[in-house]
Amino acid sequence: MQRVTALANIPLTIFLVGALVVHAGSDYTTMTGFLGNPFIGVLMLLLIFSACYHMRLGLQVVIEDYVHGEATKLLALIANQFFTLTIAVACALAVAKLVIG
Amino acid sequence: MSEQSKPARPLSPHIQIYRWTLTMMLSILHRATGVALYAGTALLAWWLLAAASGPEAYAQVQAVSSAWYGRLVLFGYTWALFHHMFGGIRHFIWDTGRGFDLKHVEILARITAFVPPFLTLGVWVAAYVYLGVL
């Protein structure tokens, strides 16, 4: 899944960077209007889930390589799960509200 | 550090021993940018939650993102994104079993190291054009 999400992240992050560039000068109404578009919402949700899945796996490898104490390692791995899930849920809820209102 | 990190046996040479190479630095940077991007998703969540919360919350995000330090962080984030993406593409090429000979390893390393800074600059020039500053 590390590779699958990596592949998905390429077009999805290019989409987000492109959208942010085009909306560099946009005000609140324009930006929320853009993010409220269901097609954009789908892309945002895909990006959120793919990126969060990818970074959970990635940091897990980093933790396993550099954190040596058993208890510390376990805590770090749990914190990794909590953080990535929290980011995913927070972003997804925000996107859902922007699309559905 | 726990006692596990000091085993009673000879250790293999660690990074201080070796002469620095570009491929080595990229390997470290791939992880470092990965960790930075990880932490930075908190900013993505803040931005989206603020947009969903209302104009006041969104104005706070805009205040920070348009301040010099906000711009600096976003600029660094853009670079980290491209750098990590190119590092990932390099790994995809290796996954196909190609690009392992020294010549191609070096070519791929140079592309990964030197193209992302230009892409980052390009993105920011484009953003400033859309802002109407350039």
Task: Give residue-wise pLDDT tens across range B31-75.
Answer: 999 999 999 999 999 999 999 999 999 999 999 999 999 999 999
CA Rg, chain B, in Å?
20
Is the distance from CB of A40 to CB of A87 less than 8 angstroms?
Answer: no
Q: How confident is the model at residue B6 (pLDDT cuts 50, 70, 90)?
A: low
pLDDT tens per residue across span B23-36: 999 999 999 999 99
Could A94 and B44 be called an inter-chain contact, meaning their C-beta atoms sit closer than 8 Å? no
Which tokens is B6 given?
């000091």
**3-class SS at B12?**
coil
Residue from B27, B28, B44, B121 whose CB has the most chain A CBs within 10 Å, to mutate = B44
Find chain A residues with C-beta within 8 A of B85's C-beta. Answer: 9-10, 13
Q: Which residues of A touch B (CB under 8 A)?
A: 3, 6-7, 9-10, 13, 17, 20-25, 28, 31-32, 35, 44, 51-52, 55, 58-59, 62, 68-69, 72, 87, 90-91, 93-95, 97-98
Number of domains in chain A: 1
**C-alpha to C-alpha distance for B49 and B94, rounded to whole angstroms:** 38
pLDDT tens per residue across span A29-66: 999 999 999 999 999 999 999 999 999 999 999 999 99
Pick the CATH number of B19-131 from 1.20.1560.10, 1.20.1300.10, 1.10.3720.10, 1.20.1270.30: 1.20.1300.10
CA distances from B69 to B66, B76, B112, B129 (A): 8, 11, 26, 20
- Of B51, B41, B122, nearest in space to A96 by CA: B51
Could A25 and B132 be called an inter-chain contact, meaning their C-beta atoms sit closer than 8 Å? yes
Write down the pLDDT at residue B99.
87
Could B51 and A94 be called an inter-chain contact, meaning their C-beta atoms sit closer than 8 Å? yes
A18: domain CATH number is 1.20.1300.10
**C-alpha to C-alpha distance for A26 and A101, rounded to whole angstroms:** 20
Print the domain residue range for A34.
2-100
Boundaries of every domain in chain B: 19-131
B5 contacts chain A (CB < 8 A) = yes
Could B52 and A21 be called an inter-chain contact, meaning their C-beta atoms sit closer than 8 Å? no
Write down the pLDDT at residue B3.
52
DSSP secondary structure letters along A51-85: HHHHHHHHHHHHHHHH--SHHHHHHHHHHHHHHHH
Mean pLDDT of B98-121: 93
CA distances from B24 to A71, A77, B41, B50 (A): 30, 26, 26, 40
**C-alpha to C-alpha distance for B24 and B30, rounded to whole angstroms:** 10
How many C-beta atoms lie closer than 10 Å to residue B69's C-beta?
9
> Does B2 have pLDDT greater than 60?
no
Is the distance from CB of B30 to CB of B87 less than 8 angstroms?
Answer: yes
Is the distance from CB of A8 to CB of A46 less than 8 angstroms?
Answer: yes
Could A24 and B89 be called an inter-chain contact, meaning their C-beta atoms sit closer than 8 Å? no
Least reliable range by pLDDT among A32-41, A71-80, B14-23, B104-113: B14-23
> Does B1 have pLDDT greater than 50?
no
B76 contacts chain A (CB < 8 A) = no
Residue type, B86: F
Burial A23-35 (b: 16+ CB within 10 A, else e): bbebebeebbeeb
Is the distance from CB of A85 to CB of A52 less than 8 angstroms?
Answer: yes
Could A69 and B2 be called an inter-chain contact, meaning their C-beta atoms sit closer than 8 Å? yes
